[in-house]
Each structure stands twice: as C-alpha cells, then as structure tokens.
Structure 1
Amino acid sequence: MFRRGAGPRIPSGPRSGPQRALIIAGFVSRVGNGLFNTAAILYFTLVVHLPATQVGAGLTIAGLCGLAAGLPAGNLADRYGPRKVWLTALALQAATMAAFVLIDSWLAFTLVATLDRLAATAGGAAGGAIVARAGGEHPAAFRARLRTFVNLGVVLGTLGAAFAIQSDTRAAYTALILANAASFACAGLIAWRGVPDCPPLPRPQGHRQWTVLADRPYVSFVALYGAMGLQYQTVSLLLPIWLTAHTDAPRWTVAAVYAINSGVCALLQSRLGSRVETPRQGGRAFRRAGLLFLVSCPLMALTADVPVWVAPVLAILAVSVHSVGEVWESSGGFALGYGLAPDHAQGQYQGFFGLGFDAGQALAPLVLTGVVLALGHGGWLLLGLLFAGLGVAGPPVAAWAEQTRSGQSGSDPAGPALPAGSAGPAADPEASSVEA
C-alpha cells in the first residue's frame, strides 16, 4: 500500500541517540512554552498595558496570518530538505520571542506575534517531515514517547511560571520571555549538532506543488481532525468558565483539572499511543476518542447540578475520561496524518495537517463560548454528540484513504528514515509560541 523508501533506519527505542536528541529538543522547547504561555496574557495586559480586547485581536490576527506559512514551508522542506527550514524557523522564533521584551504598542505587539506565528507554523511543517523519517522501526511508539516528554515539558514550565506570576514584577515576566527565547535557541543547537542534512526525496512524475489539496481522503481527515481539536479547548477554556460561572466548586478545582489532564496524558500516551501505528488503527482510535468525549461532556455539564463537595470529584472524573479520549485522538491523528502522506511530500502534507488543526483552534473560542456555553446543558450534550459523530467517521475515512493508495507498493508510511546518528526536531501540531 505504501512505498518503502531506501536507506538505513535510525536505531529505535528510548536508548537510541538520535531519538533521544529529538525528545530532548522537544522537551526543552516546550518547557519554554509552558513558562511563557502561562503568563502571556498577564505580561501583555499588566506590564505592556494593552487592553485585553487588543491582545485578543492581535493574537487572532497573528493566528490567521500564521496559517499562510504551512503549505509554502512544507513545499520548501520537501524541495530543499526539512532540516534547513526547521532550523531557520527555530532561529526566527527565538528572535521574535526575545523581541516581546521591547514592544510598547499594540501595533508592535501584533507585528511580532504575527512573525512568531509564521515561524511556528513553518517549523511545524518542516519538523513534521523530519519526525516522519526519524520514527525508526516503530514510528507510533516513538511519536508517543515524544508527545509524553513534550507534555511533561509544558507541565514543568507551567509550574515554573507560577513563581513569576506570584512575584508579579516586570523583571519576572521578562525573565519568562527570555527563557522561552533561550529554549528555542537551545532546541536549535541540539538539532544542529544531532541532525545531518536530510536530503529531499525524489519526486515521482506528475507530482504537483499543491498535490495535498487534490487528495480528498486526506483533506477529509484533516477536516475531521481540525473539528475534533475543539476538545483541547473544552478543557482549557470551556470547563474553567463553566466551573467558575455555573457551579459552586472551589476555585482550586480549575487548577486540579489542568493537572489531571496533563498527568493522564503524560502517563498514558506511550502505553496507548504505541498501539496505533497504521491508518486503520488510527481510524479506530479516533472512534474510541469520540465515544469517550460523548461520556465526558455530559459529565462536565452535570457539575452544575450536584452539591458543592461533589462538583470537584465529578469534574476530575469527567476530565480523566476526557484525557483518555485525548490520548486516543492524538494517537489516531498522528497515525493518519503521517501514515497517509506520501514519502516525498511529508513537508507539504504536515503543513496542511497543521493548518487544519490551527484553523480549528482559531474557531474554538467562538464555537465553545458563543454556542455551547450559551446553550448550557444542551450545548454540552450537542458537543459530545459532535465529537462522537466525528469519531465514528474516522474508520470510513481511513478505509477510503487506504483504498486510494492501494496501487502503491510496500508498507512503510514513514518513508526512508534519517541516517544513523541523526535526530529530528520535535514537531507537535498542538505546540505554539504565543497563546492566551
């Protein structure tokens, strides 16, 4: 079904030097993300003195502009090699993040945030292409380990940011920004030392620059994945608003659900994600995720109907179920997103994959607060039904995609791996430099 590429495999397993370097690079960059993202809105509003509405508008503009970089950067990675594009993107992210300490107006903030998002999107496309070739003999297990460690990085960064938030000084917030900039620079150095130049793969006759747009099964999958991505902000945005505005649960419950979500994902990602390697398995994982979200969403709604001492327990139970669904959803997304992409066009396909996810995240606040929250309990039920419907569509889309690729030979979705002794950059569609 898939063409098997030529070339040596990198050693697989947690003791593999190349994969270990990749995991370290991803962990370092996500510690920096956790440090800054936790306090970003506070820095921009309390230190730079921008109104929250202006911050929101600037981030929206930056996010929408950032979508434009995915496909062009992916094409550059396929044509000239992903390493060059990824290292360039990391350098730009380090520079733009450091530039945040110099901004003093909304225009400057929006410009820097836009450049940051363009670099992050380009880096995601190129990084995804390298991850596809660095998976070794068990790419699903490797991607699961990678995601486990980047999740741990975010948790550690978030905990570290608490000290800066508590001191609430310009110097403390500036230190967070510069630490995040340094994390991108360190990740780039790790990749620069450990990643040899990764040559582009030969393109078959008939290859087109925007071939992914003609791949209807893949476009359908990306649409499903982008819509299912609402589940991330269900925990980070919708549930905290619901708990504080519609329940009598103590305020520490919000922090508890964040911790439970991160902890469950970190503990289960390798265990469950390593079982999802083929597109067919990815489709089934997607279905499991949708059904778990169908259970978790009504449970979250019920926190408004129970006594104050029950609400935290019910919220933690709901988030635990939801987090298991998140692990299945991300694992299925990786199996389909990488496994359905042709070897020679991984950069382009990963760019489109990230574009779909980012578009869903951009629409999530409008859908969750403007529709679900406005409808109350009924909105939560509809949200759960939406997730279940998207999940049920996973296996048919995976089967359709496999049928369209049945004329290809081989069975390796990742293509030729990096040479022994190499490592790729950490690519995660959920990663971002500036969030609020």
Structure 2
Amino acid sequence: MIGNDVGHRKPEVPAPSGPQRALIAASFVSRVGNGLFNTAAVLYFTLVVHLPAAQVGAGLTIAGLTGLLAGIPAGNLADRYGPRTVWLTSLAAQAVTMAAFVLIQSWVTFTVVATLDRLAATASGAAGGALIARAGGERPAAFRARLRTFVNLGVVLGTVGAAFAVSAGTRPAYTALILANAASFACAALIGLTRVPDYRPLPRPEEHHRGTVLSDRPFLTFAALYGAMGLQYQTVSLLLPIWLSARTDAPRWTVAAVYAVNSGVCVLLQSRIGSRVETPRQGGRAFRLAGLLFLVSCPLMALTADVPSWTAPALAVLAVCVHSLGEVWESSAGFALGFGLAPDHAQGQYQGLFGVCFDAGQALAPVILTTAVLGLGHAGWLLLGAFFAALGAAGPPVAAWAERARSAGRGRAGATDGRPGEAAVPDPA
C-alpha cells in the first residue's frame, strides 16, 4: 500500500509557512477568477462577440498549441534569474491579456489575445512550479496537497459565481466576469510581490544546459505518461456529459450533479491522500492505483446507457466518485514524481516541460475522446479504461528507473544527500 513507506514518519501535517500560505492564497484567488471566466468564455465569444463556434475552436486550438512553446524557455528563465520574477511577470501579462478580451471584435484579434494569454499562462505554470518546489518545507507533499485543495475550491467557487452571469446573459455581465478574472491575476501578483520570498537561483553543475530536461529519459517518460493520463480530466468534464445527454435518458440535472460530486470528492480528499504521497516510489504506486480506479469507473459510466432513467443518475454519481478518487491519486502521483524527479537547480525547466506534456494531452483530449470513445460506444469506454490502467501500471517501473538513474548520477557527482526525491529548502533572498 502507499502508506507503508511512510509508517515511521511523523503523522501530523505541519501548518503552512508564510511563503506557503502566500502561494496558497495567490493560487486560490487566481483560480476563482479562472472558474469565473472558463465557465462562460465560449458563450461570451459566440453570443456576445458573435464569433462562429468553429472560429472560436480554431482560435483556441492555435492559442493552445502556441502556448506550449513558452514552457521550457520560461522555466529556464526561472532557474537562472529566480522563479518569483518570472512568475510575477507572467501574472501581470495574464491580467493584461484577460482584460483585453473585452475589446476584441474580430477573429484575428481574438486569436492574438488568446495566444498571448496562453503563452503567459504556460510561463506562469513553469515559474509557479519552481516556486512551489522552493517553498516545499519539510513536508512538501502535504503543502502541495493543501495547495491543490484550495485550487480546486477556488475553481468551484468561481464556477458557481459564473452561473449568475450566464443566467443574466448580458454583455455587462460577461464583461464583469472577464474583468474579475483579470483582477484575480493582479491580486495574485500583489500577494506574491509582498509575501513570497525572492528565492535566489541555485548553483548549477557544469553539465547543466538549457535542454537538460530533454535528455532525462525517465522524467520525459513519466511526463508523457502523465500527459496521456490527463485525458481522465476531460472524461468527466466533456465525455461523460455528452454521453449522458446523447445516449441516456438521465435527467438534465445529472450533468450538474456529476460536476458537483467530482469537485466535492477532490476538495475533501486531496489533502488527506496527497500528503501521504511524498517520494517518487510512492508516486509510482499512486499512479498505478489511479489507473486501476479509472479501469473501474469507465465501464460504470458506459453502463449509464443501459439502465432506467431513474437509475442512471445514481450510477453516474457512483462512477464519478470512483473516478474522482482516481483523480486524487493521479494528481498526487504527478506532484510526487513531477517535483521529486527534478533536480533542485532546474525545477523551472522541468516543471515547464511537465506542463507542456500535460497541456498537449489536454489539447488532444477532445478529439480523442469524442471520436474514438463515442464512436465505439461501450467498447470505447472499455478501451479507455484499459488505456488508463496500462498507463498506471507503468508508474512503479518508471519511478524505479528514475531513482536508479539519480542514484548513479549522485554517485558520479559525489553528492552527500542520499535521499532521492527530496528537494532542498533554500534560504530566501
């Protein structure tokens, strides 16, 4: 079991430090804004700006793919000049680009603004990941789990708030959402400027270069696995709602119930479970467990089309409970391996690549899920569950491979720290 390796560790979860509280607060504020905007974005672009849905989709695709280019360069800048500077700059850029959405009138300007926004968001993710690593403290897993809990909670609150604007359906209401999201980035930057230390860059070994992460095969392998496993997020947010609407007689409120259950399970369990997944080895096991839970949840989702309308909501909620539990284990594994396998001096570069792989998976997810799974029906769901299970099964051997490679590297470098996956806690500047 996951918890076996931590049986001798102190069970209590330490209170967050000042920098940790600041990062939690900044992330929470910005995610409330994300929840406000993301819920209503497509409606704003199509119903208010009057862009055709196809053009909106094309613009977002261009923006998403172009945004991937910022990951590693922004991470390198964070490693070289300090993560806070790059993070604050990218948050400021996001505040500006988000506010600019209220001014767009054509597809060209929409695509340009969306692309700049995605570039800034990718840079923010890379630098923010490096900051999270630097502020990790003695129990980095507990901090990361608490951080993700508040991130999930922020999105939920933002989504609830957006419902009022969507129900109003007026341009002023949508404009208020967009400007509120822009303000959330500005507030997050202000919190970071005043309460997050300006960590000094860590010394880098002579063999380090701007593309070091690209030669780290174990990390590349896990990043690719995690990006592919990321299809599970849109399984709940995209695939299941379409399935419930098109293939079942479930009441319309079932989709809302699915979202609520997914969010609730993640908020309630993330800190409890995630704080137990600290080392890369534990992360590998958590990744495997997540795959097995998805293997169970996907067929349950498929079965909603084969039961009476009064049973379908209960079955969908059960499936989402199982799936959400898998999501908690999967995200915990991503934290443990994504941070634990990265060298302390190159967290920005590594988090940049990790984010690129995840974002690439999210960009491809709609096409894969709607064509392959919906096209094949029940068989598609079974194949999707098996796909997740196969990805999860690769977690433990990849973690072991990475730890062997790092042990060999420390031996060659004469390093003194013999505990893999532990990030040093540097002094703030």
Alignment pair present for 1:99 and 2:107 = no
Instruction: Give 2:3's aligned residue.
Output: none
Instruction: Give 1:398's aligned residue.
Output: 399
What does 1:257-336 align with in structure 2 at a 5 Å threshold?
257-336=258-337
Q: State the 1:72 CA deviation.
A: 0.4
Instruction: Give 1:433's aligned residue.
Output: none
Q: Which runs of 5+ in 2 are unaligned?
A: 1-12
Alignment pair present for 1:413 and 2:421 = yes
Return the alpha-carbon distance in structure 2 between the equivalents of residues 326 and 211 of structure 1.
Answer: 30
Q: State the 1:15 CA deviation.
A: 4.8
Q: State the 1:412 CA deviation.
A: 6.0
Return the alpha-carbon distance in structure 1 between the equivalents of residues 59 and 15 of structure 2.
Answer: 41
What does 1:19-168 align with in structure 2 at a 5 Å threshold?
19-168=20-169
Return the alpha-carbon distance in structure 2 between the equivalents of residues 81 and 312 of structure 1.
Answer: 49
Write out per-residue CA displacement over residues 367-391 of structure 1, whole angstroms, 9 at most, x where no aligned residue. 1001111000000000000000000
TM-score (norm 2): 0.94
Write out per-residue CA displacement over residues 314-350 of structure 1, whole angstroms, 9 at most, x where no aligned residue. 0000000000000000000110000000011100000
Indicate the percent of aligned positions where both proteins have the same amino acid. Answer: 78
Return the alpha-carbon distance in structure 2 between the equivalents of residues 364 and 385 of structure 1.
Answer: 16
Alignment pair present for 1:368 and 2:369 = yes
Which structure has greater helix proportion?
A: 2
The number of aligned residues is 410
Is the 8 Å Cα contact of residues 371 and 379 (structure 1) preserved in structure 2?
yes
Query: 1:224 and 1:179, CA in 2 relative to 1: closer, same or farther beyond 3 A?
Result: same
Q: State the 1:307 CA deviation.
A: 0.3
Q: What letter matches 2:331 in structure 1?
A: S
Instruction: Give 2:189's aligned residue.
Output: 188
Q: Secondary structure of the residue that 2:407 maps to in structure 1?
A: coil
Instruction: Give 1:425's aligned residue.
Output: none
Q: State the 1:14 CA deviation.
A: 3.2
Q: State the 1:414 CA deviation.
A: 4.9
TM-score (norm 1): 0.93
Q: What letter matches 2:163 in structure 1?
A: A
Q: What letter matches 1:103 in structure 2?
A: I
Q: Secondary structure of the residue that 2:156 maps to in structure 1?
A: helix
Q: State the 1:208 CA deviation.
A: 1.8
Alignment pair present for 1:356 and 2:357 = yes
Instruction: Give 1:179's aligned residue.
Output: 180
Q: Secondary structure of the residue that 1:56 maps to in structure 2?
A: helix
Is the 8 Å Cα contact of residues 244 and 251 (structure 1) preserved in structure 2?
yes
Q: Which runs of 5+ in 1 are unaligned?
A: 1-11, 423-436
Q: State the 1:29 CA deviation.
A: 0.4
Return the alpha-carbon distance in structure 2 between the equivalents of residues 342 and 181 of structure 1.
Answer: 33
Q: Secondary structure of the residue that 1:406 maps to in structure 2?
A: helix
Greater relative contact order: 1 or 2 (C-alpha under 8 angstroms, separation 6 or more)?
1
Return the alpha-carbon distance in structure 2 between the equivalents of residues 268 and 137 of structure 1.
Answer: 21
Write out per-residue CA displacement over residues 82-110 of structure 1, whole angstroms, 9 at most, x where no aligned residue. 11100000000000000000000000000
Q: State the 1:13 CA deviation.
A: 3.1
